[in-house]
Structure 1
Amino acid sequence: MNQIKKLLIIGFVWPEPNSSAAGGRMMQLISIFKENGFEITFASAALDSDFMVDLSEFGIEKKSIELNSASFDDFIAALNPNVVLFDRFMIEEQFGWRVTEKCPNAIRILDTEDLHCLRTARQKAFKENRKFEIHDLFSEEVAKREIASILRCDLSLIISEFEMDILEDVFRINRDLLFYLPFLVDKMSDNDLLKLPSFEDRKNFVFIGNFLHEPNWNTVQYLKEAIWPLIKKDFPEAVLEVYGAYPSQKVLQLHQPKNGFFIMGRAEDANEVVKKARVVLAPIRFGAGLKGKLLEAMQCGTPSVTTTIGSEAMHGVLPWNGIVENDPEQFSKKAIALYQDENLWKESQKNGVVIINECYQKSSYSDKLTAIVNSLLTDSKSHRLHNFMGNLLQHHAYKSTMYMSKWIEAKNKS
């Protein structure tokens, strides 16, 4: 009889798959481990939210934990997981040393979501009105923390091939510590397109994105101030609907129905919203990782107009499902052309199906991930022996993290 394998996921937040791509990504990971016989516990120090998924429906135990508390030590020692998955490097910093101390044999996996140092460096370059250069990464404090976290873990899941290249070529991370795992979606066919609303049955431009994510808020500002006036000048009947979870007051203030610019707030069903739209607009100016909204557009048969940052690492050498353009004037002209030209629209829609089937198939990645995890479970000692820098960081870096945490814990008790 096979022994039950236990997975502990320590979440930055509780998963909200209908609010963000990160939430959808987490549910995809859960699905892979469930299918491979893991008993899963999901723990987080975050407060419950109104839109979090009901984990019990997926047979997952939910556990609230505390930061800087020895209660976590007792919890993980009793659970004794075979694998621990950290949701972002900040969580590994907070809990990794406790996992190592109480469950030294547990395989430690980091889901990076995206490279935070890349997103931060690009945002800083944008705000300073200069071009981002790859060497900017070396001056980011967050890069030192993030790379250290990757080195301390047995395996890190990387969502973007561009970020894989950065980690290998710029930071010189051993490939054995990295696993490329993009978003994973179901295969599509031309028949699936026929079941979706037709060109004639769709109307309006749409943008959708969680407003807690700074690149999304910046994109909406850019749409309102630069892109939309150009579109309205040449296409006065145009309407843009902006959807997103957690809109702040400054987002809501952009609502201007007389100008065809509608702030719609949270979408109850993002897929339905995108399916009814004719074109997705996403002039993203900084960020990292893969853009869930653009993959969702492909699934909904909705062509998109985005930037090189938006499309980065999303389509390999395949034609985009719409337009990639950085210049605001050209962006606006091509967005109108895509909206009005049925042949261009249909060709773009089919490009999206090809991208989905070539780049995001679960079967291409889930078996490989399972094989690597099983290999680590069988012989983690050899793997760790070859990760000298990781061992070095385990020895030194955790000491400072550990003592800081214990100091905060003692302070909280006094």
Structure 2
Amino acid sequence: MNQVQKLLIIGFVWPEPNSSAAGGRMIQLILLFKAQGFSITFASPAQNSDFMVDLQEYEVEKKSIELNNSSFDVFIKELNPDVVLFDRFMMEEQFGWRVAENCPDALRLLDTEDLHCLRLSRQKAFKENRSFSIADLFVEEVAKREIASILRCDLSLMISEFEMELLESAFKIDKALLHYLPFLLEPIDDTEIKRIPSFEERKDFIFIGNFLHEPNWNAVQYLKDTIWPLIKKRLPETVLNVYGAYPSQKVLQLHNSKDGFLIMGRANDAQEVVKKACVVLVPLRFGAGIKGKLLEAMQCGTPSVTTTIGSESMHGDMPWNGFITDDIVNFVDTAVQLYQDKEIWGRAQQNGITIINQRYSKGLFETDFRTKIEFLRSNLQQHRLHNFMGAMLQYHTLKSTKYMSRWIEEKNK
């Protein structure tokens, strides 16, 4: 009888699928491994949060772990997982060397979420009022840490084709270390389409996004100061509902009912509020990865206006679920056009449904992923022999990070 395979996920935070796209992504990965028959333990050094998902509902064991504490060594030796998945590179930095030392035969996977170094380099360029260039990545400190983490792992899961190409061309990462696995969604069938509210049943504009994420906060400021006043002038009866988890005081202060700019805070059901809106506005000026809020708009049959950064790597060569523009005047014009023209709105909606079904339907990716994991598990030593840079970094990390961690642990006693 085959032994049940064990997966350990080391989470940066406890998953909150209703607060962020990252939380939704983690649940998708859990379900993907569940379908492969894995027994799953989710461990994290994070504090519990009010909106974290109940992992027991997914038959996942929850385990709190500590940073810089050898109690983790005891825990992982006892668990002896077949596969370890690091949720973002920071978790691989903290725990990767302990996994390598205590469970050397475990397959080590990294879920990048998005390329942090790309997002931060773009953010820095934006704040310094200059254009971003690939050269910015090479001076970004986070890039050195993130790329080292990718090299130390056996496989990194990428949600963006653009970021995969960037890693291969700019950083010369071997494509054998990367695997394209975007958001995994249920296809939208005719029954589902019939349930989507019609053009006539909708009103107003919406923005939705977690406020702990800097690109979202910047986009809301841009809407408030520049874009929304121009739309409001053209459509005085409309309002913009701004939803998002973890709004700070500076976010709440933007609320202005006279201007129709309404800070609504956290949405209990994000899809419900997006389905009621006529148009989603997402004027992102920096960021990385693929945008959960824009996929959610497509799932809800709600057209969107976004920027080239917002739509990056999301739609291939298919027409967008609305409009893509970096020009303020054009952004306003197309938002008003979508709001007023039922025919253009309907075409945009259909484009979004096509994108979901042809690019994000989970059935497109499940078999490939299963095959990849099985292949790596059967050929792990050979796979690692081809990754000398990773082995070298693993060696030096064990020497440096290990003793730094041991020193912090002694200091904490």
Structure-2-length-normalised TM-score: 0.99
Instruction: Summarize deviations over 1:227-256 as a string: whole Å, max 9, x none.
Output: 011111222112100000000000000000
CA contact (8 A) 2:181 2:365 kept: yes
> What is the rounded CA distance, in whole Å, between the counterparts of 2:189 and 2:304 in structure 1?
19
Any residues of structure 2 matched to 1:11-410 within 5 Å, and which? Answer: 11-410=11-410
What amino acid does structure 2 have at the position aligned with 1:321?
N
Unaligned 5+ segments in structure 2 are: none
What amino acid does structure 2 have at the position aligned with 1:33?
F
> What is the rounded CA distance, in whole Å, between the counterparts of 2:313 and 2:399 in structure 1?
37
CA contact (8 A) 1:306 1:325 kept: yes
Cα shift at 1:191: 4.2
> What is the rounded CA distance, in whole Å, between the counterparts of 1:256 and 1:232 in structure 2?
13
What amino acid does structure 2 have at the position aligned with 1:127?
K
Unaligned 5+ segments in structure 1 are: none
Question: Matched residues, percent identical?
Answer: 69
> What is the rounded CA distance, in whole Å, between the counterparts of 1:45 and 1:274 in structure 2?
33
CA contact (8 A) 2:97 2:397 kept: no
> What is the rounded CA distance, in whole Å, between the counterparts of 2:397 and 2:405 in structure 1?
13
Instruction: Summarize deviations over 1:328-349 as a string: whole Å, max 9, x none.
Output: 1110111011111000000000
What amino acid does structure 2 have at the position aligned with 1:392?
M
What amino acid does structure 2 have at the position aligned with 1:90?
M
> What is the rounded CA distance, in whole Å, between the counterparts of 2:176 and 2:365 in structure 1?
16
Cα shift at 1:190: 4.3
> What is the rounded CA distance, in whole Å, between the counterparts of 1:276 and 1:247 in structure 2?
22
What amino acid does structure 2 have at the position aligned with 1:10?
I
What amino acid does structure 1 have at the position aligned with 2:369?
L
> What is the rounded CA distance, in whole Å, between the counterparts of 1:241 and 1:306 in structure 2?
16
Structure-1-length-normalised TM-score: 0.99
Cα shift at 1:379: 1.8
Report how many residues are paired: 413
Instruction: Summarize deviations over 1:327-386 as a string: whole Å, max 9, x none.
Output: 111101110111110000000000001101111011111111111111111120000011
Instruction: Summarize deviations over 1:147-194 as a string: whole Å, max 9, x none.
Output: 000000000001100001001111110010000011011111344222
What amino acid does structure 1 have at the position aligned with 2:119?
R
Instruction: Summarize deviations over 1:44-75 as a string: whole Å, max 9, x none.
Output: 00000010000011111000000000000000
Instruction: Summarize deviations over 1:88-122 as a string: whole Å, max 9, x none.
Output: 00000000000001000000000000000000000
CA contact (8 A) 2:254 2:263 kept: yes
The CA RMSD measured in Å over matched residues stands at: 0.7
> What is the rounded CA distance, in whole Å, between the counterparts of 1:375 and 1:203 in structure 2?
50
Q: Secondary structure of the equivalent of 2:258?
A: helix
What amino acid does structure 2 have at the position aligned with 1:373?
I
Cα shift at 1:3: 1.1
> What is the rounded CA distance, in whole Å, between the counterparts of 1:4 and 1:186 in structure 2?
27
> What is the rounded CA distance, in whole Å, between the counterparts of 1:189 and 1:311 in structure 2?
24
CA contact (8 A) 2:203 2:238 kept: no
> What is the rounded CA distance, in whole Å, between the counterparts of 1:346 and 1:192 in structure 2?
16
Cα shift at 1:403: 1.1
Q: Secondary structure of the equivalent of 1:91?
A: helix
CA contact (8 A) 1:189 1:353 kept: no
CA contact (8 A) 1:68 1:408 kept: yes
> What is the rounded CA distance, in whole Å, between the counterparts of 1:299 and 1:74 in structure 2?
44
